[in-house]
Structure 1
Amino acid sequence: MDAASTIGDVTDQLVGVFDDPKILIGIPLALLGAVFMSFGAQYQHRGVQKVERLTQVNGGNGLTGAQLVNLLRRPSWVAGTVMLGLAIVCQLAALSFAPLILVQPLGAISLVITTLLNARISGHTPTKRSISAIALCVGGIFLFVTIAAIYATETPVSDAQLVTILVILAVVVVALGSLWFWLRRRANALFYIVGAGIIYGFVATLAKVVISRIQSGDFEWLTVVCVVALIAGTAVGAYFVQTAYASGPPDLVIAGLTVIDPIVAIIIGLAVLQEAATAPWGAFVGFGFAGLLAIAGVFQLARYHPQIVSDSQEIPIQRGSDGQPSTGSIRITEAVSRVWPDPPTRDRDGRSPR
Structure 2
Amino acid sequence: MEGMNAFALSVLLALVSAIAYAVGAIVQERVAVTDRGHPYAPVRRPGWWAALALNGLGALLHVGALVYGPLSVVQPLGALTIVFALPIAAVFLHRRAGRTARVGAVLATVGLAGLLSLTGRADSRSMTGHTELVVAGAALGAVAALFALARWVRRPVFRSMALAGAAGVAFGIASVFIKSLAVGWSSLGLAGQWEAVPGVVLFAAAGVLLSQASYRDAGLTAPLATVTVVNPAVASAVGLSVFGETFRYGTGGALLAVAAAVLSAAGLLLLTTDRARDGGEGEELPVELLPAVPVQQAKDPVREPRRNVTP
Q: Is the 8 A contact 1:99 1:154 kept in 2?
A: no
Relative to 1, partners in 2 of residues 1:164 and 1:183: Cα closer, same or farther, differing over 3 Å?
same
**Which residue of structure 2 lines up, in the alignment, with residue 126 of structure 1?**
97
SS at match of 2:30: helix
Q: Which residue of 2 aligns with 1:140?
A: 111
Post-superposition offset of 1:328: 6.1
C-alpha distance in 2 between matches for 1:277 and 1:127: 35
Match of 1:152 among 101, 121, 129: 121
Look up the match of 1:166. Answer: 133
- Paired position in structure 1 for 2:10: 26
Report the AA paired with residue 178 of structure 2. Answer: A
Query: How far does residue 80 in structure 1 lie from its aligned partner after superposition?
Result: 1.3
- Taking the aligned partners of 1:279 and 1:232, their CA distance within structure 2 comes to 37
How far did residue 90 of structure 1 move?
0.6
Alignment map for 1:1-354 (pairs within 5 Å): 19-52=3-36, 55=37, 63=39, 68=41, 71-148=42-119, 151-157=120-126, 159=128, 163-186=130-153, 187-217=158-188, 223-276=193-246, 279-305=249-275, 308-311=276-279, 332-333=284-285, 335=286, 337-342=287-292, 344=294
Tell me the matched-pair count. Answer: 292
Q: Is the 8 A contact 1:201 1:261 kept in 2?
A: yes
Give 3-state SS (helix, strand or coil) of 1:248's partner. Answer: coil
- The residue that corresponds to 2:304 in the other structure is none
**Alpha-carbon separation, structure 1, partners of 2:58 and 2:16:** 7
Q: d(CA) in 2 for partners of 1:259 and 1:297?
A: 10
How far apart, CA to CA, are the structure 1 residues paired with 2:5 and 2:149?
49
Q: Distance in 2 between matches of 1:297 and 1:118?
A: 18
Indicate the residue corresponding to 1:317 in structure 2. none
Measure, in 1, the Cα distance between the counterparts of 2:142 and 2:78: 26
- Whether the aligned pair in 2 keeps the contact of 1:38 and 1:111 (CA below 8 Å) is yes
Over residues 147-180 of structure 1, what are the superposed CA-to-partner deviations in whole Å (9 max), with x where a residue is unaligned? 12xx133322252xx5324313312312431342
Q: Equivalents in 2 of 1:180, 1:110: separation in Å?
A: 23
Q: Deviations over 1:24-78 (max 9, x none)?
A: 22221111111111111111111122211xx3xxx7xxx3xxx62xx12111111
- Structure 1 residue 115: deviation in Å? 0.7
CA distance in 1, matches of 2:161, 2:282: 17
Q: Is the 8 A contact 1:37 1:83 kept in 2?
A: yes
> Structure 1 CA distance, aligned partners of 2:172 and 2:282?
32
User: Contact 1:30–1:107 (CA<8 Å) still a contact in 2?
Assistant: yes
Q: TM-score, normalised by structure 1?
A: 0.74
Return the alpha-carbon distance in structure 2 between the equivalents of residues 254 and 192 of structure 1.
Answer: 11
CA pair 158-81 structure 1, distance change in 2 beyond 3 A: closer
Question: Could you say if the C-alpha distance between residues 255 and 76 of structure 1 is closer, same or farther in structure 2, counting changes exceeding 3 Å?
Answer: same
Aligned equivalents of 1:125, 1:278: Cα separation in 2:
39
Structure with bigger gyration radius: 2
Q: How far apart are residue 219 of structure 1 and its match?
A: 5.5
In structure 2, the CA distance between the partners of 1:109 and 1:136, relative to structure 1 (3 Å rule), is: same
Q: Equivalents in 1 of 2:172, 2:224: separation in Å?
A: 14
- Percentage of pairs with the same residue: 22
Secondary structure of residue in 1 paired with 2:111? helix
Change (3 A) 1:166 1:132: farther
User: 1:85 Cα deviation (Å)?
Assistant: 0.4
1:293-320 C-alpha deviation (Å, 9 max, x unpaired): 2222233222223xx44446xxxxxxxx
- Residue 103 of structure 1, CA deviation: 1.8
- Provide the C-alpha distance between the structure 2 equivalents of 1:246 and 1:119, rounded to a whole number of angstroms: 20
Whether the 8 Å CA contact 2:124–2:243 is kept in 1: the answer is: yes
Q: Which runs of 5+ in 2 are unaligned?
A: 298-311
